[in-house]
Structure 1
Amino acid sequence: MKKLKGSCLCRQVSFEVADEFIFLGYCHCSECRKWTGSAFATGGMVPASALTLTAGSEVVRHYRKSVQTELVFCGQCGSSLYSRKLLVDRCIVRLGTLDDTPTRAPNVHIYCASKAPWYEIMDALPQYDELPE
């Protein structure tokens, strides 16, 4: 199994994640926009056991957004690293934090019903108003 390396902006936090993503996509929900400061978040979902912090655990911070989601970021530089989906024991890694290239590319847009009104999706990937089944 191929492992991908990732890190935060200041490089104090680093991690490894298995290149076996369940889902790779672009999320346009308002909460992801707030967390990333961008038009959308680009993420890949893996089982929580597929992600390992390799350095910097002492500067990692957690924000409990809801009963089901905890956001994980670097307390030093503020980089959004991943979110933990607590009820299903999965993580969504922010692909922009990867130092290596995943085998597959994101292939779907989700929560398009709440996308930023000033952003137009210009590719031909499938678009869903919410999370598809």
Structure 2
Amino acid sequence: MKELHASCLCGAVALTLPDQFDYMGNCHCSECRKFSGGDYASVGGLDGNKVTIMKGEEAISRYRKSAETTLAFCRHCGSSLFSQKSSSGKINLRLGVLDDVPSQQPAFHLFVGSKAPWHQIGDDCPQFDTRPPV
């Protein structure tokens, strides 16, 4: 299986992970917009134990957003890296930090009920007001 590399803007943090996400999607919730600084956040979900921090563990700052979710970012350049669920260990990697092209692409939009009012979704991927049904 192909390995993907990811890094922050300044290069202090480097990650590796398999090119096999459980899902890829675009989240339009206000929290992801604030964490990413964009109209939405493109994320890829995978088990946290599949992500290896190759460099810069000490450069990763973590913000506990809630009892369930911790946000990770580079303390030097501020790049948003990933969020992690405490109950499952699942990571939602911010796809913008990938240095390589993954074999998958985002397949849905979630929380479009709270998307930025100026943003127009321009693809045919399924859209969900909140989360997709299980």
TM-score (norm 1): 0.97
Matched residues in 2 for 1:2 and 1:78: separation? 28
Amino acid at match of 2:51: L
Structure 1 portions without partners, runs of 5+: none
1:67 and 2:67 are equivalent in the alignment: yes
Matched residues in 1 for 2:114 and 2:55: separation? 36
Runs of 4+, deviation exceeding 2 Å? none
Matched residues in 2 for 1:88 and 1:107: separation? 22
Q: How many aligned residue pairs are there?
A: 133
1:105-133 CA-to-partner distances (Å, cap 9, x unmatched) read 11100011110111111111100011112
Alignment correspondent of 2:44: 44
Matched residues in 2 for 1:8 and 1:85: separation? 21
TM-score (norm 2): 0.97
Matched residues in 2 for 1:124 and 1:35: separation? 25
Alignment correspondent of 2:15: 15
Percent identical residues: 45
Matched residues in 1 for 2:69 and 2:101: separation? 26
CA RMSD of aligned residues (A): 0.7
**Which secondary structure state, in structure 2, belongs to the residue aligned with residue 31 of structure 1?**
helix
Matched residues in 1 for 2:32 and 2:8: separation? 18
Matched residues in 2 for 1:84 and 1:26: separation? 16
Matched residues in 1 for 2:65 and 2:10: separation? 24
Alignment correspondent of 1:128: 128
Alignment correspondent of 1:26: 26
